[in-house]
A and B are shown apart, each in its own frame.
Chain A
Amino acid sequence: MPDFNVTDLFVSLTSRIGLNYEFLSTGYEAQIWRDGFATTLFLIVLLIPVSLVFGLVFAACLTSGRLWLSVPVRAFVEVTRNTPTLVQLMFSFLVLNTFVSSLVGGVQNNPLSPFFWVVAVVGLHIAALHAEAIRAGIEAVPASTVEAARGIGFSPLQILRYVEVPLAFRASLPAIVNNLINLVKLTTVGNAIAVSEITYASIMVWTQRDNVVSLMIVILLFFSLINFVVARLGLWVERRLAVPGYGL
């Protein structure tokens, strides 16, 4: 069993510098911790497309020029940007979730899990931030370009799809990557409603083992690594999409 030996070696080496990772060689706690990492990664992978899709929809509403579309979305964006995500999550989970429960007749019939609410709240929160970035990008598209597209007979939706969004997306990519890094950090609020992501799993471990510092080091490195990867991917996409001579 070479795998077992590696864990043991790691535990004994780290204990020599005063860190306590003994739980890794027990089955149950190590499993909880691994699941915590997996849940956080799953949340991130799920939330990135969700936030981008809704961000695009919100940005389209904001720039549509129709008040009945832009005013509600603008109000939503402002409320989301200026209130803590944790408060939104608690509000959604305690109030909206109760409404849903009473609608479907009892908590046992409620299909919405805490996991769903984390995805919904964090996803829409980041979508609101994306929407602001993309809106700024759409407004930065030169009016002459839009007029030219209208001149060749593009409909407003086609202009959005083929002219404005491709250019706006490139312009707003740095801001979007910044929001995605915020998204990674925000997944930890799931802790408040018992979604077993990494911080929740770690609390389970350190209440038993009293090894906060050891776990903290790994968690901090974990988030640093994820955000490094996200930033690198963003840079890569930015380079891949760059339009030569357009300056973006």
Chain B
Amino acid sequence: MRTQIQQPRTGSRILRNGAFVALPLVVLLSAVADPTLGRELLQWVPYLASGFMMNVVIALSAMTLGTVIGALFGMLSLAPFRLVRYPVAAYVQLFRNAPHLVLIFATTYIFPFEIVIYGTYLPFPDWVKAVIGLAIPASAYVAEITRGAILSIPTTQWEAAKGLGFSHGQALRWIILPQCLRRSLPPWMNVLASITMGTALASLVGVHELLHAATDASTAVRRLDFTIIAYLVVMAAFFTLCYPISRLTRRMEGRFHAA
């Protein structure tokens, strides 16, 4: 019985670590197998890489913005005033349930393409709109995570803090939030992975990112095998970015459950 359980585990461990290199390996092998294809791909790699940089930039900016707003909203959703609590709850409900694509469309088409500040025209590029479009759902998820994390801290902690002479704000800052941080890290990383994958949606509103670059490349080269390879590169790029995040998340979740 024991060997039966052990066997798939070692198998899956090889598979799990092999997964890091499997997709890039497929791309590399097919590029080597057909040199004309490889040369074509090599030409387009810088273009694809510049697209992927955009994905990373959008994901990181959206997550930063979303985390700041979300953490704030999460704390506000526990405020003792209904006038604060209800609008925040409505925001979270509305945007947590909205498709990312719809929000990206909303920000892209509603915001102007330039803003006027004191008579100077500042361009408002599409990728910034995509950042805002993804930051909105991110903030709603993070608000929910923050709220859940704060509520998961036993009330006795608050009482003990009060007993030690901490004010409400001080207790939140020095006692509750540090504990929340550890608890909310795994779900926060899930949001990070989800937002990172959501950046591909920006291609539908014309942002020059990886999927858009791959479509450009495949329409320019007009070879079926190149199209396959281009999209495999896209998959491999996203996979190498998101797979470590999800592996790490699962490991942290496991450790958290064990603790």
A residues in contact (CB < 8 Å) with B = 65, 67, 70-71, 74-75, 78-79, 81-88, 90-91, 94-95, 98, 181, 184-189, 191-192, 199, 203, 206, 212-213, 216, 219-221, 223-224, 226-228
Contact B242 A82 (CB under 8 A): yes
B197 near A: Cβ within 8 Å?
yes
Contacts of A192 in B (CB 8 A): 204
A223 interface neighbour in B98, B197, B218, Cβ under 8 Å: B98
Q: What are 18 pairs between A and B in contact, CB < 8 Å?
A: A67-B8, A71-B11, A71-B12, A71-B15, A75-B19, A83-B235, A87-B234, A94-B231, A98-B227, A185-B97, A186-B99, A187-B99, A189-B101, A192-B204, A212-B105, A212-B106, A212-B109, A216-B110
Q: How far is the CB of A96 from chain B (nearest CB, A)?
A: 10
Majority secondary structure, A binding face: helix
Contacts of A90 in B (CB 8 A): 211, 215, 231
Q: Which of B79-101 contact A (CB under 8 A)?
A: 93-95, 97-101
Contact B97 A65 (CB under 8 A): no
B residues in contact (CB < 8 Å) with A = 4, 7-8, 11-12, 15, 19, 22-23, 93-95, 97-102, 105-106, 109-110, 193, 197-201, 203-204, 211, 215, 218, 224, 227-228, 231-232, 234-235, 238-239, 242-243, 246
B8 interface neighbour in A65, A95, A188, Cβ under 8 Å: A65
Contacts of A191 in B (CB 8 A): 101, 204
Q: A82-B246, A212-B110 are in contact. Are A95 and B227 (CB under 8 A)?
A: yes
How many residue pairs at the A-B interface have CB separations less than 8 Å? 120
Q: How far is the CB of A118 from chain B (nearest CB, A)?
A: 13
Q: How far is the CB of B84 from chain A (nearest CB, A)?
A: 21
Contacts of A216 in B (CB 8 A): 102, 105-106, 110
Bound state CA distance, A84 and B101, in angstroms?
A: 12
Contacts of A88 in B (CB 8 A): 235
Contacts of A189 in B (CB 8 A): 101, 201
A78 interface neighbour in B11, B19, B197, B231, Cβ under 8 Å: B19
Contacts of B224 in A (CB 8 A): 95, 98
Contact A220 B94 (CB under 8 A): yes
Q: How far is the CB of A177 from chain B (nearest CB, A)?
A: 13
Bound state CA distance, A46 and B228, in angstroms?
A: 29
Contact B227 A94 (CB under 8 A): yes
Contact A83 B238 (CB under 8 A): yes
Contact A79 B235 (CB under 8 A): yes
Contacts of B8 in A (CB 8 A): 65, 67, 70
Bound state CA distance, A171 and B184, in angstroms?
A: 22
Bound state CA distance, A184 and B232, in angstroms?
A: 26
Contact B15 A75 (CB under 8 A): yes
Q: How far is the CB of B10 from chain A (nearest CB, A)?
A: 10
Q: How far is the CB of B15 from chain A (nearest CB, A)?
A: 6
Residue of B nearest to A219 (CB): B102
Residue of A nearest to B97 (CB): A227
Q: A65-B4, A224-B98 are in contact. Are A84 and B11 (CB under 8 A)?
A: no
Contact B12 A74 (CB under 8 A): yes
Bound state CA distance, A155 and B107, in angstroms?
A: 56
Bound state CA distance, A75 and B193, in angstroms?
A: 18
Contacts of A91 in B (CB 8 A): 231-232, 234-235
Contacts of B100 in A (CB 8 A): 185
Q: How far is the CB of A14 from chain B (nearest CB, A)?
A: 17
Bound state CA distance, A227 and B99, in angstroms?
A: 11
Bound state CA distance, A85 and B4, in angstroms?
A: 35
Contact B204 A185 (CB under 8 A): no
